[in-house]
Amino acid sequence: MKTATIPSLRVEPEFRNEVEQVLGEGESLSQFVESAIRARVQQRKDQAEFVVRGLASLASARRSDAYVDAGEVVDRLKTKLEVARKRQRSAHR
């Protein structure tokens, strides 16, 4: 399979220096850029899938008229967070 290129990117010299400072051991600037692009593409795919799931959930809730009050959801999340914090404190003792 033939490879393709991504358009070059013009940046200020200061920014390029900043990027070069965070490169991993033996990592090239090209590898870093490719990795960053791949991560951003995956993030956008995940975000699009999240929106699709959310819209499907909304449609399902409208069909069944089964909604959960936002305050109840927040209360459940607070409880889960407190349990996790207690577990974490216990593990660090």
Query: What digits encode the pLDDT tens for the residues 72-87?
Result: 999 999 999 999 999 9
d(CA 49, CA 44): 9
DSSP 25-93: TT--HHHHHHHHHHHHHHHHHHHHHHHHHHHHHHHHHHHHT----HHHHHHHHHHHHHHHHHHHHHHT-
- % of the chain beyond a pLDDT of 70: 100
Q: Name the residue range of residue 77's domain.
A: 13-91
The model's confidence at residue 60, banded by pLDDT at 50, 70 and 90, is very high
* Separation of alpha carbons 80 and 65, rounded Å: 26
Let me know if residue 69 belongs to a domain.
Answer: yes
Residue 7 within a domain: no
Global pTM reads 0.68
Residue 1 has a pLDDT of 85
For residue 67, pLDDT beyond 90: no
Q: Is residue 27 part of a domain?
A: yes
- The answer to whether residue 33 sits within a structural domain is yes
Q: How many domains is the chain partitioned into structurally?
A: 1
Domain assignment of residue 1, yes or no: no
